[in-house]
Chain A
Amino acid sequence: MYALQGGESIPVVDPSSADGVFALLWLVVALPLAGAAILLVGGKYTDRWGHLLGTLLPIGSFVISLVMFISVLGRDDSDRQVMQHLYTWIEAGHLNVGMDLLYDPLSALFLLLITGVGSLIHIYSIGYMAHDPRRRRFFGYLNLFVAAMLMLVLSENYLGLFLGWEGVGLASYLLIGFWQHKPSAAAAAKKAFVINRVGDMGLSLAIMMFFVLFGSTSFSVISSAAGNASETQMTVLGLLLLLAACGKSAQFPLQAWLLDAMEGPTPVSALIHAATMVTAGVYLIVRSNFVFELAPNAQTVVIVIAGISILWGAWIGCAKDDIKKALAGSTMSQIGYMMLGAGLGVAGYAFAIFHLLTHGFFKANMFLGAGSVMHGMDDDVDMRHYGAIRKAMPITFLTFAMGYLAIIGFPGFSGFWSKDKIIEVALTQNIVVGLVALLGAGVTGFYMTRLMLMTFFTEKRWSKGVHPHESPAVMTGPLVVLAALSVLGGIMLAGEWIVDFLQPVTGVSEHEDPPIPVLAVSAIAVVVVAIGVAVAWFVFGRHAVPREAPRDVSFVTRAGREEVYGNQINDTLVVNPSRHLTSGLLVTDKRVVDGVLTGGPVAIGAIATIARRAQNGFVRSYALSLLGGALIVVLALLAVNLT
């Protein structure tokens, strides 16, 4: 352990070998992977039962995760890190990478979230994708995603994490573009993939730097040797990891892909682009705490990025009429909170993970609820065509309301506890950051209330021929479970349990009191949120919502609809220069390079056109040339011999 200022210390990853129930650790990854293999290789022969198998296998993983979680609860704090060595993955010279799985409190929570929420979303998808002819393939991709995500959170080294990281990127690409017949979906998938590559470049550079600095990518080796590196090196590493996290977690400036990613089927948006994959960036930062704790500058950058993302996402969420895109903006904003927590250091890691879990519950809940609404509204996503759905879809409404109350931080609901804690820590560390977080909470209240009102309250604005109806039980069941988790998720904070549980990973922090009493912080937060809700009520609840989006709107709204010009910024700064560079290179290649290469042959061809006249086909002409040659030889011989 390395002592830091303020009596904090970084815990070293030092796992014991897997025994007992932990010997089944590999199965957690292997089950969904096998599912993906069977469903994707088996082809149409698995069409009939593929979705059932694809649902059962993540449930199996969930059961194993649950058993291991219970088992780990029975252990001492110091004994809660377990490593399973499967085989040597790469062995070349000094480079030795094992296929090692690490089970510690952090991955334990992630395992439960991924397999738990994942299983619920699988069940939900049985109903949601019932009429899709390619449902079996969908489940294959979902299983592939679950396996990759589990690999990401279970790996004991950065290279294994990178394997899972790329795996989820692939699954995300495949699922966003699942309806590839839609050009918008195909483009969105490509966009997500390309933007993620930018982040992946950061991660791969970081991994190479780990190799160079520590000769290994293993968490245990790096965490125990982290103090040997200089602060500059750690800062560079931290920034590279942050770049990776920004790409995967859709944080500023790599956020542009997330809204387009809503082109995928709604369960995908719920599972990948809300609950699990996009939080991988937060996981990466928390997991790399031994880097960030030694790089305060990188932590500051994390906080700045997080603050920008909170407001940026909230801004988008306020302006979008597409229910899924509004939720996506919200996701970006909420992940900003997690990043904020993670950037705040030892004091914030546990709360970042806590918010990650509760967000996983209520955002999955709301996405699935949105999917349920879309299911009833003939796949219309425009909230301006909704209104008064609460009566038509009561279960969806109620469960969605639980998620809504959780995300705005209604006292007692899970989001209240988690967000409140982050705001509190932020206020403690830096008053500006705390105020940004508070402002974000208020805006959250505004846009979520807007979404809620436009969808479930106000008057009917349905299109002709649309008859909303409640979704089947296979879809509402997961909604109910997730709603319950949204309400009760806060229980994890009871007695600071989650903080203690995560201590072996995140370390111990001295509790610092905020500048104002904790209760006052909570009260202020609630008041800010209430103001946001009230504003939304005055704007949307009291006036009729027009069915078409008004055109004469303020700059703020227009910018929000344009996703705060993120795409335009990308186009201006990256896409168009690259395009011009490419076309310039193309012209150079065609004119200059090809010109040089083909110019020679062309010249030779021109010479040959002239020279071939000598090949006139007359044997006597050739004989004449022969005579000339012989003459020259004889002359040369004479010249040599007679001189």
Chain B
Amino acid sequence: MNITAYVVLSGILFTIGCVGVLTRRNAIVVFMCIELMLNATNLALVAFAKQHGNLDGQIAAFFVMVVAAAEVVVGLAIIMTIFRTRRSASVDDASLLKY
């Protein structure tokens, strides 16, 4: 079996997530796209674990999941806080830190 297909799929998903981050304005959707990117890397990691025949890739994917969970918790809390004060979940509205 060849894992090239898996890795290419991973790259495609990553690219889609990337474009999503750049084009969507809703902070929560942006976050979803980031999750999509993380999942794409996870797929690559698991596929490479299979390729190399050891489980380190799966462990790495596991760690990525944990970190993603922590990141989502904090990120969503920040989005909540911003929404409370600005009444907006748009990433473009939080643009005061500029020239």
**Residues of A at under 8 Å CB distance from B?**
612-613, 615-620, 623-624, 627
9 closest residue pairs by CB, A with B = A617-B98, A617-B95, A612-B99, A615-B99, A619-B91, A615-B98, A618-B95, A616-B98, A624-B22
CA distance A624 to B98 in the complex (A): 16
* 12 extra A-B contacts, CB within 8 A, seeds A618-B92, A619-B94, A624-B22: A612-B99, A615-B99, A616-B98, A617-B95, A617-B97, A618-B91, A619-B92, A620-B21, A620-B22, A623-B22, A627-B18, A627-B22
In the complex, per-residue mask of B1-38: 1 if CB is within 8 Å of any chain A CB, else 0 = 00000000000000000100111010000000000000
Write the chain A residue with the least CB distance to B92: A618
CA distance A618 to B97 in the complex (A): 9
CA distance A623 to B91 in the complex (A): 12
Report B-chain residues with C-beta under 8 Å of the C-beta of A618. Answer: 91-92, 95
Write the chain A residue with the least CB distance to B18: A627
CA distance A459 to B95 in the complex (A): 96
Report B-chain residues with C-beta under 8 Å of the C-beta of A617. Answer: 95-99
- Chain B binding surface, main DSSP class: loop
CA distance A154 to B92 in the complex (A): 87
Report A-chain residues with C-beta under 8 Å of the C-beta of B99. Answer: 612-613, 615-617
Contact of A620 among B92, B96, B97, B98 (CB under 8 A): B92
Report B-chain residues with C-beta under 8 Å of the C-beta of A613. Answer: 99
Q: List 26 A-B contacts (CB under 8 A).
A: A612-B99, A613-B99, A615-B98, A615-B99, A616-B95, A616-B98, A617-B95, A617-B96, A617-B97, A617-B98, A617-B99, A618-B92, A618-B95, A619-B91, A619-B92, A619-B95, A620-B21, A620-B22, A620-B23, A620-B91, A620-B92, A623-B21, A623-B22, A624-B22, A627-B18, A627-B22
CB contact list, B24-77 vs A, under 8 A: 25
Write the chain B residue with the least CB distance to A611: B99
Report A-chain residues with C-beta under 8 Å of the C-beta of B92. Answer: 618-620
Most buried by B among A613, A620, A623, A624: A620
Q: How far is the CB of A605 from chain B (nearest CB, A)?
A: 13
Report A-chain residues with C-beta under 8 Å of the C-beta of B95. Answer: 616-619
Report A-chain residues with C-beta under 8 Å of the C-beta of B18. Answer: 627
Q: How far is the CB of B20 from chain A (nearest CB, A)?
A: 11
Report A-chain residues with C-beta under 8 Å of the C-beta of B97. Answer: 617
**Residues of B at under 8 Å CB distance from A?**
18, 21-23, 25, 91-92, 94-99
CA distance A613 to B23 in the complex (A): 21
Q: How far is the CB of A24 from chain B (nearest CB, A)?
A: 80
Report A-chain residues with C-beta under 8 Å of the C-beta of B94. Answer: 619
Write the chain B residue with the least CB distance to A609: B99
Write the chain A residue with the least CB distance to B91: A619
CA distance A623 to B31 in the complex (A): 13
Write the chain B residue with the least CB distance to A613: B99
CA distance A62 to B95 in the complex (A): 87
Report B-chain residues with C-beta under 8 Å of the C-beta of A616. Answer: 95, 98-99
Report A-chain residues with C-beta under 8 Å of the C-beta of B23. Answer: 620
Report B-chain residues with C-beta under 8 Å of the C-beta of A619. Answer: 91-92, 94-95
CA distance A613 to B99 in the complex (A): 7
Q: How far is the CB of B75 from chain A (nearest CB, A)?
A: 12
Write the chain A residue with the least CB distance to B23: A620
CA distance A479 to B84 in the complex (A): 97
CA distance A617 to B91 in the complex (A): 10
CA distance A620 to B25 in the complex (A): 8
CA distance A619 to B25 in the complex (A): 10
CA distance A612 to B97 in the complex (A): 12
Report B-chain residues with C-beta under 8 Å of the C-beta of A615. Answer: 98-99
Write the chain A residue with the least CB distance to B99: A612
Write the chain B residue with the least CB distance to A627: B18
CA distance A618 to B92 in the complex (A): 6
Q: How far is the CB of A509 from chain B (nearest CB, A)?
A: 90
Report B-chain residues with C-beta under 8 Å of the C-beta of A624. Answer: 22
Q: How far is the CB of B54 from chain A (nearest CB, A)?
A: 23
Q: How far is the CB of A447 from chain B (nearest CB, A)?
A: 80
Q: How far is the CB of B8 from chain A (nearest CB, A)?
A: 14
Q: How far is the CB of B89 from chain A (nearest CB, A)?
A: 13
Report A-chain residues with C-beta under 8 Å of the C-beta of B25. Answer: 620
Q: How far is the CB of A507 from chain B (nearest CB, A)?
A: 86
Q: How far is the CB of A616 from chain B (nearest CB, A)?
A: 5
Report B-chain residues with C-beta under 8 Å of the C-beta of A612. Answer: 99
CA distance A629 to B18 in the complex (A): 13
Report B-chain residues with C-beta under 8 Å of the C-beta of A627. Answer: 18, 22
Write the chain B residue with the least CB distance to A612: B99
Report B-chain residues with C-beta under 8 Å of the C-beta of A620. Answer: 21-23, 25, 91-92
CA distance A384 to B25 in the complex (A): 99
CA distance A309 to B91 in the complex (A): 90
Q: How far is the CB of B41 from chain A (nearest CB, A)?
A: 13
Most buried by B among A619, A623, A624, A627: A619
CA distance A619 to B24 in the complex (A): 11
Q: How far is the CB of B31 from chain A (nearest CB, A)?
A: 12
Q: How far is the CB of B82 from chain A (nearest CB, A)?
A: 11
CA distance A613 to B98 in the complex (A): 9
Write the chain A residue with the least CB distance to B94: A619
CA distance A487 to B65 in the complex (A): 115
CA distance A615 to B99 in the complex (A): 6
Q: How far is the CB of B65 from chain A (nearest CB, A)?
A: 22
Write the chain B residue with the least CB distance to A631: B18
Write the chain A residue with the least CB distance to B96: A617
CA distance A325 to B24 in the complex (A): 94
Q: How far is the CB of B83 from chain A (nearest CB, A)?
A: 15
Q: How far is the CB of B37 from chain A (nearest CB, A)?
A: 11
Write the chain A residue with the least CB distance to B95: A617
Write the chain A residue with the least CB distance to B24: A620
Most buried by A among B23, B95, B96: B95
Q: How far is the CB of A82 from chain B (nearest CB, A)?
A: 82
CA distance A619 to B90 in the complex (A): 10
CA distance A624 to B91 in the complex (A): 14
Report A-chain residues with C-beta under 8 Å of the C-beta of B98. Answer: 615-617
CA distance A372 to B25 in the complex (A): 98
